[in-house]
Structure 1
């Protein structure tokens, strides 16, 4: 684990979003980083497509764990 230096403005935006989404500031930042990485890797997908794909992937992982 490391430290990521970000601007005060971005930190404020993360703090606001974390309150709205009921996540910790770190969890909100991690979510945005993950979604951004997925968006860069899949430029043809919308945000909704990315979320649907990730939900399906998680269901598959949970199904494999419970088998």
Structure 2
């Protein structure tokens, strides 16, 4: 359900910069930051690079880019 929220001018300025660099809309950039923040808060021991790697791996599964792991 869409909802209007008030955000500081400083945050909107930063969001706009990142949304241009990463080619996301402003709302999608805010959603992305919220998702990453939620994951980080729920998993405080995981560094951002690990969280990002997990998200990339999940997308590879969605796209069928899997290869079997061979032991030994």
TM-score bin, normalised by smaller chain? 0.7 to 0.9
TM-score (norm 1): 0.79
1:23 alignment counterpart: 24
TM-align CA RMSD = 1.4
Runs of 4+ in structure 1 off by over 6 angstroms are: none
5+ unaligned residues in a row in structure 1: which ranges? Answer: none
5+ unaligned residues in a row in structure 2: which ranges? Answer: 65-72
For residues 1-67 of structure 1, the aligned pairs below 5 Å read 1-63=2-64
**Larger Rg over CA atoms:** 2
Structure in which a larger fraction of residues adopt helix: 1
TM-score (norm 2): 0.75
